[in-house]
Chains A and B, each alone.
Chain A
Amino acid sequence: MADNSSDVLPGREARAHLDHFATAEQQRNTAMAGMWIFLVTEIMMFGGLFMAYAVYRLGHPQAFASASRDMNIVLGAVNTAILITSSFTMALAAQAAEEGLLRPAKWLLAATILIGIVFLGIKFVEYYQHYRDHKAPGFGFQTNLPDPGGIQMFYIFYFAMTGLHAVHMIVGIGLLAALLIMTELGRFSREYHSPVVITGLYWGFVDIVWVFLFAIFYLPGLHLHG
């Protein structure tokens, strides 16, 4: 990519690296290692929930399959595509920031925020439909399917795991909004842009979690007939 100076905003407070780092590269590698360690703790947190889901699904295979038939597969699949699109724009935003192309980076960050909000909007519609259909445990849960206990467990995992994921999305949108403001204030430059890249890692991780949530909550019952 050729250096396009018109796309580089003046970096008022942009500095190569902080005093306690020897080089900008060391600062960058430290930031990356720290963020990946944080993401590993996130793997552990979601991992425990996936593990618990697996145990209960083994115990109630029919109930989990028939409960997942009531998921809205169209909204689920569309939302998966939407979140993947936001990861794509996020990756491009981080790349643009690395190249010092701050104006495109700003637009890509804004696009990522908007796409993230659309995802949450669709999720909210789904939650409302579950609530309306008496599928929310603790809020007048009802089902005519066999093994109501197993069905309810499916929905408890569904709300806990997609809810925790949604909280991560809300946090991510807040982080992206902060990045947008920092970019506008000229905090980033071709030399210093780790916050953008690190937030990109977080956003990508949240997308990976969703890919697995889609696989375990929306897909299991689709092949069953009747």
Chain B
Amino acid sequence: MAEPTVARKIYLRAYAGLLSLTLLTTLLAFVNMGWFNTVAALMIAVTQALLIGGIFMHALYETALVRVILAGGVLWFLILITLTMTDYLTRSR
């Protein structure tokens, strides 16, 4: 068959990593780090998204076509964020 078989050990490690990151992000949120609280929470969320997408959803093992489709989606989302923020982050209050 075309689809690669991912070892159950890899799923288990991803699962353990995801639960640890959930605990980590919750505990970190209680520590006052100023603006870095938001950055840390988002960085951990992105890591969790990569674990779920890459391993649970097999994005790491998919065809080039699927990777292009996914990259297109992420790119357009970043365009949405970037262009909107060029306005809102540069307004004088």
Contacts and interface: CB of A to CB of B under 8 A. Distances in A.
B25 A95 contact: no
Contacts, number: 143
Given A204-B53, A220-B38, A223-B31, A91 B69 contact: no
Secondary structure of the B contact surface, majority rule = helix
B37 A219 contact: yes
Nearest to B84: A51
B52 A207 contact: yes
A211 B45 contact: yes
A147 to B, nearest CB: 14
Interface string B4-24: 011010010011001100110
Given A28-B2, A98-B1, A208-B52, A91 B74 contact: no
A184 interface: no
Contacts of B89: 58
A77 B27 CA distance: 10
Contacts of B15: 84-85, 88
A92 B15 CA distance: 11
Interface string B53-83: 1011110001101100110111011001100
B74 A43 contact: yes
Given A36-B70, A44-B77, A219 B11 contact: no
The range of chain B's interface size is 35 or more
Contacts of A163: none
A36 B45 contact: no
B37 A223 contact: yes
13 contacts: A24-B2, A25-B1, A33-B65, A36-B70, A40-B72, A43-B73, A43-B76, A81-B19, A92-B8, A95-B6, A201-B57, A204-B56, A211-B48
Given A214-B45, A220-B38, 16 more contacts: A25-B1, A29-B63, A29-B65, A33-B63, A47-B77, A55-B84, A58-B89, A77-B26, A84-B19, A87-B18, A91-B57, A95-B6, A197-B58, A215-B44, A219-B29, A223-B37
